Amino acid sequence: MMLHRHRYLISLSFLVFSLIVLASSVFSQAQNQTAYWTKAAPATIARQELYPEVLNNKIYVVGGILNPFTKFTAHFESYDPVKNAWTALRPLPEARHHITLSAVNGLLYGVGGFTGGFPNWRALPTMFIYNPASNTWTRGIDLPAARGEGVSAVVDDKIYLIGGRVRATDDARLFNDHIDSVRNEVFDPTTRRWSTRANAPTPRNSAASAVIDGKIYVVGGRKFAKNADGTARQVNVPNLEVYDPKLDRWETRSPMPQAQGGLAATALNGKLYVFGGEQWVPEQKVFAESWVYDPQTNQWQALPSLPTPRHGLGASTIGNRIFVFGGSTKTGGNATSSVNEVLVSPI
C-alpha cells in the first residue's frame, strides 16, 4: 500500500513539474511574440519629410524640412545600429525635402523632391547618386517629369517611383501649383534610362511603401484638392495597393483600419509595418497608431503605439528591429524631432 502511494506521489510531482515547465514555455513564447518599444540614439538634427534607405546594415537619411518649416536642408547622415551612433556625411549638392533614397549595387540614388520653404515649394526632376566608398555625390539621370512626395522601391536592381505630386503647370512654384499623380516610372541603373509602367490606381501624396516578396506595397497617404476659394484641402486615404513589377499589374488589398497620411512604412518577416502620420480634416491630428499587415491573411493588426506621435517620419528595418526616427510632433511643418524609437519585433 505504501509503495502504491509513493508511486502516486512521484507521478503527481512529475505532472506538476511538467505543467510548470509547459507554463514557463508558453509564457516565454508569449513574451517572444510581443513587440515592444525602446529607444536608440537620436539623430544629429531634427527634421521631417524623410524617405530613408538601408545599405550595408546602415540607415541613410537625406534632406528634409527643418523648424520653422520655411527652412529645409541638404544634411545627410547615416545610423549604425551596432554602434548606436549617427555619422554626418557629405551633404546633398542641393537642399531638398521629400526626396526619395534608393539603394542599388552599393550606391544610393536620391530622386526628385521639392526645393523651397513653404509655401514656395517647387517639384524637381533631379537625381543625385551617392557613393559610400568615396563619400561623394554625382549627378544622375533626371526624371521624365518633376515630382515630389512620391514613394520609391527597389525590385531586381531597378528603382520604381510611384505617385506623389507633379507640377500642374510648367512654371509651378508654389505648394498649391502641384497636383497628385498616379505615375509609375522605373529607372534601370544599367541602361541609365527611365521608362513608364502601369499607373497606380489611386492618385496620392505622402504615402509610404515597402517591398515584400518582390512586390511593392503602397499604403496610406492623402489626396490634395483645392477649395472654391483657392485654399488647399488634404484628405487622408487608407488604401493599400500592391504592384507586381513582373506582371506590370496592380492589386487592391484590404485598406488600413484608419486613414493616415505622412506615415512611414517598412517590411519585416514578410509583413508590412506602418507608423504614425497626420490628418487635416475633419480635425487636425498627429497619429501614434501603428499597424502590421499580413499579406497571407489580408488582415491588419494593431501594434503598440508610437511612444512619440509623429508624421513625416522615417522607418527602416535592420535585423528584427524597426527604427522609427525624425518627423514632427505637430501637424504641419513645425515641431520637428530627432527622436529615434525602436520597435523590437518577434523574429
The pLDDT tens digits of the residues spanning 261-273 come to 999 999 999 999 9
Predicted local confidence at residue 74, as pLDDT: 98
Average pLDDT over residues 119-132: 97
Query: What per-residue confidence (pLDDT) applies to 44?
Result: 97
Report phi then psi at 3, rounded to 5.
-65, -45
The model carries a pTM of 0.90
pLDDT at residue number 227: 78
Lowest pLDDT segment from 10-19, 34-43, 96-105, 230-239: 10-19
Share of the chain above pLDDT 90, in %: 84
347 falls in which pLDDT band (50, 70, 90)?
low
pLDDT tens digit string along 48-79? 999 999 999 999 999 999 999 899 999 999 99
Rounded distance, CA 181 to CA 224, Å? 10
Domain ranges (residues) in the chain = 37-344
The yes-or-no verdict on residue 346 having pLDDT over 80 is no
Report residue 151 as a C-alpha cell. 514613394
- What is the pLDDT of the chain when averaged over all its residues? 91
Number of H helices, E strands in the chain: 1, 33
Q: What is the pLDDT of residues 6-41, one digit of tens each?
A: 444 334 444 333 433 333 333 333 333 689 999 999
Residue 18 makes CB contacts below 8 A (sequence gap 6+) with none
State residue 345's pLDDT score.
82
Distance CA 51, CA 316 (A): 9
Q: State the chain's maximal CA–CA distance in angstroms.
A: 101
Is residue 119 within 8 Å of 173, Cβ to Cβ?
A: no
Domain covering 37-344 assigned CATH 2.120.10.80 in the classification:
yes
- Sign of the alpha-carbon dihedral angle for 259, 115, 187, 265: negative
Q: How confident is the model at residue 112 (pLDDT cuts 50, 70, 90)?
A: very high
Distance between CA atoms of residues 180 and 166, nearest Å: 6
Convert the pLDDT of each residue in 244-264 to its tens digit: 999 999 999 999 999 999 999
pLDDT, one tens digit per residue, over 283-326 is 999 999 999 999 999 999 999 999 999 999 999 999 999 999 99
Question: Which of 13-17, 168-172, 181-185, 229-233 holds the top average pLDDT?
Answer: 181-185
> What's 177's DSSP letter?
G
Pick the residue with more confidence: 228 or 272? 272
Residue by residue, DSSP assigns 212-256 as ETTEEEEE--EEEEE-TTS-EEEEE---EEEEETTTTEEEEEPPP
pLDDT, residue 30, reads 36
Buried b / exposed e across 203-223, counting CB within 10 Å, b at 16+? bbbbbbbbbbeebbbbbbbbb
pLDDT score at 26? 32
